[in-house]
């Protein structure tokens, strides 16, 4: 997802065997490795510098969590880190990238995990400085958990013996492996959305839109890894990377390609689902309008019938109403044929009106 969701939990130790830290120190784990074994565990940066100077063929892995600028400046002075890379590590909020400053690599990665209850991808930012005899990891969130990576490497001395490059590749693998649960969580929610669409849930449109945004943010974290891995691959020959590490990296690259393909599929699928949902909503609205129109037509038909019969019955009522006024002088009342004529007039008027209304389909 996006940088707007930073992991807020309090700092957790990178490993369970970390010794007490000095006040305000961001150092969570620092060790010297030689020939695939941890030979020294250090508690301060100064101790690490001294131990590394004493090591003939070892390298240091220094783990930091949200370090202060003075700590990074100390590391920059010791290992010759470039000012621009140090500035990026201090300010954070960087896109995934790989940059080479002389003999030092600077890598920014975005770890991810899926929060299924709120359907959001939560990101953790990780900065790496890699040199021939050191690797500095700077975390700005709890994710990724580098203690797992460190234990994995320490349990594989043959891989760890290959130096800081092996640590870089293992961290890359851990970050990419962490994308798999995100892919699975998004796929599960898309399946639920498909059911929701055909059930006619009116809230599904918002859900589709919000999940689409999460997929886009996820792509922004995963897509740059393709270029990062290509850059590393292009340096295999120049920096004499062993065949085993090359195979290891190619496996990571395959996983990255799969993740990005799945993310592309999700975007396409959500776009299609949104289109289908809009079509179904329009169909339901048309059906509702047809029902309303049919009901209005039926009501109009009933109104015409009532009006027609009212008009038919009004004519006799008009005639009888005239003679119900009881005027003193009504000469036609004295005629013997007046009553039959009145009946004939009423009947003829009613029949005429009935015929007219019938011809116009009012009755």
Mean pLDDT score across all residues of the chain: 83
pLDDT, tens only, 340-358: 777 777 787 778 877 877 7
How far apart, in whole angstroms, are the C-alpha atoms of residue 164 and residue 56? 15
Domain positions in the chain: 1-158, 300-359
| Residues 139/89, Cβ–Cβ less than 8 Å | no
| Residues 33/52, Cβ–Cβ less than 8 Å | no
CATH topology of domain 300-359: Methane Monooxygenase Hydroxylase; Chain G, domain 1 (1.20.58)
The answer to which of 235-244, 250-259, 262-271, 313-322 has the lowest mean pLDDT is: 235-244
Residue 7 CB neighbour total at 10 angstroms: 15
Statement: residue 12 has pLDDT above 50: no
Mean pLDDT along residues 296-312: 75
pLDDT at position 6 is 42
Of all helices (H) and strands (E), which one includes residue 128? strand 120-131
Mean pLDDT along residues 86-90: 92
CATH (residue range 1-158):
3.30.460.20
| Residues 102/211, Cβ–Cβ less than 8 Å | no
Peptide bond into 91 cis (omega under 30): no
Q: Which residue has the higher pLDDT, 288 or 134?
A: 134
Residue whose pair of structure tokens reads 């130096």 in the numeric block: 163
pLDDT, tens only, 170-217: 999 999 999 999 999 999 999 999 999 888 888 888 999 999 999 999
pLDDT band at 16 (very low <50, low <70, confident <90, very high): very low
pLDDT band at 7 (very low <50, low <70, confident <90, very high): very low
Q: Say how many residues make up the chain.
A: 363
pLDDT, tens only, 214-261: 999 999 999 999 999 988 887 766 656 677 777 888 899 999 999 999
How far apart, in whole angstroms, are the C-alpha atoms of residue 174 and residue 209? 30
How far apart, in whole angstroms, are the C-alpha atoms of residue 29 and residue 42? 8
pTM: 0.72
pLDDT at position 346 is 77
């Amino acid at each position: 997802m996006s940088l707007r969701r930073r992991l807020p939990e309090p700092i957790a130790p990178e490993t369970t065997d970390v010794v007490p830290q000095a006040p305000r120190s961001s150092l969570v784990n620092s060790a010297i490795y030689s020939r695939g074994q941890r030979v020294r565990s250090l508690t301060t940066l100064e101790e690490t510098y001294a131990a590394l100077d004493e090591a003939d063929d070892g390298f240091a892995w220094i783990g930091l969590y949200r370090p202060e600028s003075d700590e990074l400046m100390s590391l920059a002075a010791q290992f010759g880190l470039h000012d621009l890379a140090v500035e990026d590590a201090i300010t954070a909020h960087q896109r995934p990238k790989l940059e080479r400053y002389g003999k030092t690599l600077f890598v920014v990665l975005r770890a991810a995990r899926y929060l299924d209850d709120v359907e959001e991808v939560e990101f953790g930012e990780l900065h790496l400085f890699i040199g021939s005899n050191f690797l500095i990891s700077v975390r700005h969130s709890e994710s990724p958990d580098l203690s797992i990576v460190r234990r994995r490497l320490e349990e594989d001395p043959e891989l760890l013996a290959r130096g800081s490059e092996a640590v870089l590749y293992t961290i890359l693998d851990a970050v990419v492996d962490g994308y798999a649960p995100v892919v699975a969580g998004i796929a599960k929610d898309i399946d639920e959305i498909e059911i929701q669409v055909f059930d006619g849930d009116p809230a599904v449109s918002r859900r589709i839109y919000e999940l689409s945004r999460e997929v886009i943010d996820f792509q922004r974290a995963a897509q740059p890894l393709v270029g990062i891995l290509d850059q590393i691959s292009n340096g295999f020959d120049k920096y004499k990377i062993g065949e085993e590490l090359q195979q290891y990296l190619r496996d990571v690259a395959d996983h990255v390609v799969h993740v990005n393909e799945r993310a592309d599929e999700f975007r396409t699928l959500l776009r299609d689902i949104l289109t289908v949902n809009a079509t179904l909503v329009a169909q339901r609205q048309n059906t509702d309008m047809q029902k309303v129109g049919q009901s209005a037509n039926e009501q109009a038909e009933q109104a015409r019938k009532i009006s027609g019969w009212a008009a038919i019955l009004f004519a006799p009522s008009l005639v009888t109403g005239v003679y119900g006024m009881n005027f003193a002088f009504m000469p036609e009342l004295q005629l013997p044929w007046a009553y039959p004529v009145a009946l004939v007039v009423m009947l003829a008027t009613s029949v005429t009106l009935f015929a007219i209304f019938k011809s116009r389909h009012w009755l």
